[in-house]
Structure 1
Amino acid sequence: MKKIIQQAFFQLRNQPLLSVITVLGTALAIALIMVILIVYQAKTADYAPEVNRSRSLYVKWERTVYDKKDPNSAGHSRPSLWLVKEIFYPLTTPEAVTATYEGGEVLVGTVGSDEEMNTPLMLTDAAFWKVYQFRFLAGKPFTEADFQSGMKQAVIAKSVARRLFGGAENAIGKDILVNFAAYTVCGVVDDVNRFCEFTWSEVYAPYTSNAIASEAEAGQTSGNNVITILARSTDDFDAIRNEVARGVAQINTTLGDMELQLMGQPDNFRMQLNRKFANQYENLNANFWKYGIMILIILLVPAINLSGLTNTRMRRRLEELGIRKAFGATRNELVWQVLNENLVLTVMGGLLGLALAYLFLWLMSDWLLQTVWGATATMNASMVSPVIFLIAFGFCLILNMFSAYVPAWRVAHTPIVDSLNEKL
């Protein structure tokens, strides 16, 4: 192995331009594939607090036809709290169901202080803390009893606690003003990444503490809620969808000329990513094909170029390889020599590609890490798996070895006389 590495570095020094282009071609291919896979992983993998993405179903939108005789008389919105209580809370198949109300930006401050900040508010139920697993730095979440009583309890993010109270421990038991209404801080959680669409906020409170969020007028289908259904297992997805469909059918018997439609929901996590808006749904299979073709092109273009570069390097080494054949080297030995040298160059390109991938993510984070609503997310170690690098490196290794094998095989099968006369 030591001799192979020495030979590869000798060729690197002997043919610096071709070797550098080979390493850079491999590095750029690996870097681009890694960036695509890392961003995809960050958007879809299970990590705190959304650790149960893989076994959760989501309902983000509803469609109401207001006159069955006129299909165009339809409106789209988030589901109402009435639908949550009538269809989703009674579900028996799932492990848990939670509803979150998008409270938007609110003014948060402390009593007797001029310190105020605009921050997002999420109103939810007690099951929210079971479906999603937050890292509590101090205190605890509001309880089911707090929720049922409509207590004005709040869980705040670390950044809010630091700004208003100087730290997490100092915030517990203190009052904050949320749009001038007093809430008692019962817990402080770690800041949530912006890629966590269903949990990202900075203040969390029971929706029963808010008059608007807790309104549930019978027959009112449109609202401002998002529903997460935690299944015991992905095997229960079909049973949950069937139970939801029965609930929708039951609701529709009470709506007269109106009709409620969930448009194929509940969705699994990857499906809901493509349902950005109620009346706009991107085909999931089409997206997979789009990204697959993109990755294939990224892989094939450098592979074709590397094959040409390897062929050029082989032409320059015809005399050397001819002499080795004359002294008894077999065709297989010559081919293995070239493949091993190419392996060393690929490893060098892989390590460089790993560094370039993170450099690209850092330099272009405003574009690459943009969330659904235009904000920029942050990367953390839990989003990135070593498997991503191994997949990208493995694909490039296979293509590089194949692109090197063809010219190496041709050279190895060139007659000794032609090799010594540098004729391929």
Structure 2
Amino acid sequence: MKTIFKQTYQQLKEQPLISIVSVAGTALSLFLIMLVVMIQQVKVAPFSPEGNRDRMLHVKFGSLLTKDGETNGPMSLHAINAIYKNLKTPEAVTAYTYFPTREPLSANGSKSFTANVKLTDAAFWHVFDFKYIYGKPYNEANFKAGIPLAVISRSTAIKLFNTTGDVVGRTFLLKYITYKVAAVVSDVSSLATMSYSQIWIPYTTDQETCNMVWNNTMGMFSTTILMHSPKDEAKVHAEALANLNKYNLTIKDSGNKLANRNRPYNTEKESIDFAANLEPDLSAEHRTELIVFLILLIVPAVNLSSMTHSRLRQRISEIGIRRAFGCTRWSILSQIITENMIVTLCAGALGFIMSIACGFIFTDSLLTPAYSNSYNNGPMVNIGILIHVSTFFYALAFCFVLNLLSTSIPAWQACKTSIINDLNGKR
């Protein structure tokens, strides 16, 4: 292997222009592929506070069919409680306002500022795994009693109380109500679309929002279901459908019907749900991704193949001498593929680093989620969000496929000519 590394390095030095173009082309190809992969990964890969995304099912919006047409949007607590909150199969079910609102807040007469506020129930803290810095969230008893407690993000606590220390127990004014800080959590990236906010309060303290109901079915709330295992998805769907059918019987006389559209959706399906009146098509999404990946692989592979072919033409005599001394075609072929794999891996590492850097630098333009105009925080990212084990193996797989596509045919053509022609430098 040491000899192969030396030979690879020497080959790159002998043809610097072709080598630079080859490495740059491979790096650019892997950069584009990994950028597409990362944009998709941040929507479905687990990270706090959505570390159990593989066990989550979501009902972000509902679809109510009425005599006058169709209404789409968040649902009422009445409908969510009747259909989803009483499910027996899941580990936990939470109801919350999907869209955080901007609300003014202040403490000790200080200058007020706005922060994103999400209304939740007590089960919210079981479904989502927040990182607690101080204190603990409100429990079921606090929630049912309507006690004005709040969980706030670290940056909000610093801005509100002008300290980095423990502020649990301190009070602040929110929507003309005095709330007490129950816990401080790490800031949440807006990429965690279901759990994102800066302040979380019990919805039992805001009856005005709870009472914003249309046709008794549509309202301001969404729900997330935490399963014991991803294998429970079919059972949860069946149980939810049975509850939905019972609920539709109760509103039948009004001429309304809540459309199912195969809800609830798992995290991957929910990530492409941009229109509540249409069921997301995962198969079509996968086909589109496959076409994009093939284009990003095949186009550079064709160009790199011609460069590999050009490099090998200058090694015909070398190949002939090695074959004259008994080296087999397979031995030569495997060495050429190995040499090119080393170059591909080096270029792939460069492309991988470029994609990570691009993810950090252009986070706002690349990763901003839909419906996030009212969010105070942007899509904060860190290495843990951008890079996962699966992302690394994607990069390795793309490097391997690109190497095979661009090297195998030229290498085989270089090895199949006769030894005499090889020695004479002929093809």
Judge same fold: TM > 0.5, yes or no. yes
CA distance in structure 1 between the partners assigned to 2:92 and 2:332 by the alignment: 63
Tell me whether 293-302 or 408-417 shows the greater mean CA deviation: 408-417
1:334 alignment partner, one of 332, 335, 341: 332
Which residue pairs with 2:266 in the alignment?
A: 268
**CA shift digits 1:36-74 (9 cap, x unpaired):** 22222211012211122111211122222333xxxx532
CA distance in structure 1 between the partners assigned to 2:137 and 2:160 by the alignment: 19
Contact 1:82–1:216 (CA<8 Å) still a contact in 2? no
Tell me whether 13-22 or 127-136 shows the greater mean CA deviation: 13-22
CA distance in structure 1 between the partners assigned to 2:404 and 2:261 by the alignment: 48
**CA shift digits 1:170-198 (9 cap, x unpaired):** 42111111123211111100001111111
Q: Percent identity?
A: 34
Structure 1 residues 288, 324: CA separation in 2 closer, same or farther (over 3 Å shift)? Answer: same
Which residue pairs with 1:423 in the alignment?
A: 426
SS of the residue 1:176 aligns to: strand
CA distance in structure 2 between the partners assigned to 1:169 and 1:78 by the alignment: 37
Residue 298 of structure 2 aligns with an amino acid whose one-letter code is: L
Matches within 5 A, 1:289-328: 289-328=287-326
1:157 alignment partner, one of 140, 153, 158: 153
1:403 alignment partner, one of 406, 411, 420: 406
SS of the residue 2:207 aligns to: coil
Which residue pairs with 1:413 in the alignment?
A: 416
Structure 1 residues 260, 354: CA separation in 2 closer, same or farther (over 3 Å shift)? Answer: closer
SS of the residue 1:76 aligns to: strand
CA distance in structure 1 between the partners assigned to 2:163 and 2:201 by the alignment: 20
* TM-score normalised over the length of structure 1: 0.93
SS of the residue 1:213 aligns to: helix
Contact 1:107–1:178 (CA<8 Å) still a contact in 2? yes
CA RMSD after TM alignment = 2.0
CA distance in structure 1 between the partners assigned to 2:33 and 2:327 by the alignment: 38
Which residue pairs with 2:349 in the alignment?
A: 351
**TM-aligned CA deviation for residue 351 of structure 1:** 1.9
Contact 1:82–1:218 (CA<8 Å) still a contact in 2? no
Which residue pairs with 1:106 in the alignment?
A: 103
**TM-aligned CA deviation for residue 281 of structure 1:** 4.0
Which residue pairs with 1:27 in the alignment?
A: 27
Aligned residues: 419
Tell me whether 212-221 or 314-323 shows the greater mean CA deviation: 212-221
SS of the residue 1:403 aligns to: helix
Which residue pairs with 1:123 in the alignment?
A: 119
Which residue pairs with 2:382 in the alignment?
A: 380
Which residue pairs with 1:90 in the alignment?
A: 86
Which residue pairs with 2:70 in the alignment?
A: 74
CA distance in structure 2 between the partners assigned to 1:294 and 1:218 by the alignment: 42
Residue 117 of structure 1 aligns with an amino acid whose one-letter code is: F
Residue 177 of structure 1 aligns with an amino acid whose one-letter code is: L
CA distance in structure 2 between the partners assigned to 1:411 and 1:241 by the alignment: 58
CA distance in structure 2 between the partners assigned to 1:298 and 1:218 by the alignment: 48
| Gaps in structure 2 of 5+ consecutive residues | none
SS of the residue 1:79 aligns to: coil
**TM-aligned CA deviation for residue 12 of structure 1:** 0.8
CA distance in structure 1 between the partners assigned to 2:214 and 2:297 by the alignment: 56
1:394 alignment partner, one of 382, 394, 397: 397
Tell me whether 364-373 or 197-206 shows the greater mean CA deviation: 364-373
CA distance in structure 1 between the partners assigned to 2:280 and 2:85 by the alignment: 29
* TM-score normalised over the length of structure 2: 0.92
Contact 1:369–1:378 (CA<8 Å) still a contact in 2? no
**TM-aligned CA deviation for residue 276 of structure 1:** 2.0
**TM-aligned CA deviation for residue 127 of structure 1:** 0.5
SS of the residue 1:414 aligns to: coil
Residue 42 of structure 2 aligns with an amino acid whose one-letter code is: A
The yes-or-no answer on 1:285 pairing with 2:283 is yes
**TM-aligned CA deviation for residue 219 of structure 1:** 5.9
Matches within 5 A, 1:133-212: 133-212=129-208
CA distance in structure 2 between the partners assigned to 1:88 and 1:421 by the alignment: 78
Residue 105 of structure 2 aligns with an amino acid whose one-letter code is: V
**TM-aligned CA deviation for residue 261 of structure 1:** 2.1
